[in-house]
Amino acid sequence: MGCSSCSSGKDGQPKGCKNNGTCGTDGCNKLTVFDWLSNMSLPSGAVPFSCVEIRFKNGRKDFFKNPENLSLSIGDIVATEASPGHDVGIISLTGELVKIQMKKKKVEVDSEEVKKVYRKASQKDIDIWQKSRDKEEAMKVRAREIAIRLELQMKISDIEFQGDGSKATFYYTAEERVDFRQLIKEFAHEFSTRIEMRQVGFRQEAARLGGIGSCGRELCCSTWLTDFRSVNTSAARYQQLSLNPQKLAGQCGKLKCCLNYELDAYIDALNSFPKTETKLQTEKGTAVCQKIDIFKGVLWYAYEGEWMNWHKISAEDANEIIAANNNNEKIASLEEFASEFLEDTKTDFENVVGQDSLTRFDQPKRNKRRKNRNRRKNTTKKPTEKQTTASNKPKAGNSENKNRNKPSNQRNKKRRPSNRNNDKA
């Protein structure tokens, strides 16, 4: 889904063909057919095929005649016949491959469905086409509001304007029949254009809008899948898938189309397996099938009453046991056949370092430096017995030293009142 012009430049910026959403070489569009005859010239005397394939919005394609014998190539914008007025589209395929596509889709060249190509689009045609395309998103939001106000059980998925802006086609999905006569009147009054309502299926809606599937790739219906075959839940049962509707449903809300891709291979593989309903008769007891593995060709059986103990045997051994039971013969036990699949518990590799453990980052690492600091602090804070005994003993000469260290001003303050009394006397 990418052409050479979409590659990145020197600065990492995508180059692109500057067509704003439409690929100029038709290599990045939906349901693109590779023109492998583009570099080959026609034999002498051969007339080129007179029809071309033109692509419109969201992968809608139609075949058109070229009665004027215009020199058209892939990527040209042309004006085509429509009812009423004209439409604007991009040529997606020319030459002999158009004949093959028309034969594949059972479209005849002389049928009335094949309309004409008028001319190459002028700049005025392109400007009107771009203006009408810019209105579509705002119109879709407003149209959904009107449908909700009228309480109609429908979903408007897309709007497509005609190239000349004279008509707008509303694509919608609904589970039941919808009476939208009042809706069309309000649409015509609101948008002032001709309205056409077209109902599509849920898968056709997903193909038009596109998206990313649960596998991480683009939707098959929007890239290469054209025929929508019915998908049943039996396809999931054959492939041993859990019947979870959230996992089996695609973006369209229906079962995924990819469930049918490998269904035939699974059915062929299951032909060599015995039916899961058949029970194995042994001298030890009756065994019931619990699980099968199609890829390994293995079944698991458990005795009635011993449901926790499963015995693993191959499909060939199971068929032999069933054939013996049909001849009224019983085997001794399933352990004789299950011994072939006993797994050796001896490990050739031992994880000594522990770097392959999945839970090695769950528990945070403890800092050894903090522990060492705390230990040092504790040792410095705790005094020894000699220090405690020495501190408890009174020190001689402390009072004398205190008096000596007192300043002379305090001594004079004590002597002053005695001097005053002597003066008064």
Per-residue pLDDT of the chain (425 residues; tens, 9 = 90+): 455 555 556 555 656 665 544 454 555 666 777 788 877 888 877 888 889 999 998 888 999 999 988 989 888 999 999 988 899 999 999 988 999 989 988 999 888 889 999 999 999 999 999 999 999 999 999 999 999 999 999 999 999 999 999 999 999 999 888 888 899 999 999 999 999 999 999 999 998 888 899 999 999 988 888 888 899 999 999 998 988 988 999 999 999 999 999 999 999 999 999 998 999 999 999 999 999 999 989 999 999 988 998 999 999 999 999 999 999 998 888 888 876 666 555 555 555 555 566 676 676 666 666 666 666 666 655 555 444 454 555 554 444 444 454 554 544 444 555 444 444 43
Neighbours of 63 (CB within 10 A): 21
Long-range contact pairs involving 15-24 (C-beta distance under 8 Å, separation at least 24): 22/90, 23/75, 24/75
Helix ranges, 10-90 (H) = none
Predicted confidence at residue 360, as pLDDT, reads 65
- State the pLDDT at residue 227: 82
User: Quick one: which of 170, 230, 229, 160 has its CA closest to 199?
Assistant: 170
Strand partners, 411: none
What residue has token string 């040092």?
A: 376
The helix/strand/coil state of 92 is strand
- Please state the separation of Cα 295 from the chain's center in Å: 26
- State how beta strands 167-173 and 194-199 pair: parallel
Q: Which of 103, 75, 83 is nearest to 17 (CA)?
A: 75
Q: What is the predicted pLDDT for the residue at 110?
A: 87
Q: What is the pLDDT of residue 337?
A: 84
Q: What is the DSSP letter of 331?
A: B
Q: What pLDDT is stored for residue 1 in this prediction? A: 45
pLDDT score of 274: 92
Q: How far apart are CA 42 and CA 370, in angstroms?
A: 84
SS3 172: strand
Axis crossing angle, helix 136-149 with helix 123-134, rounded to the nearest 10: 40
Structural domain spans, the chain: 4-121, 130-206, 229-271, 280-341
From the candidate CATH numbers 3.40.50, 3.30.300, 3.40.720, 2.60.40, the one assigned to the domain spanning 130-206: 3.30.300
Please give the Cα distance from 49 to 68 (Å, whole number).
Answer: 13
| Nearest CA among 82, 38, 85 for reference residue 60 | 82
In the prediction, which pLDDT does 423 show? 45
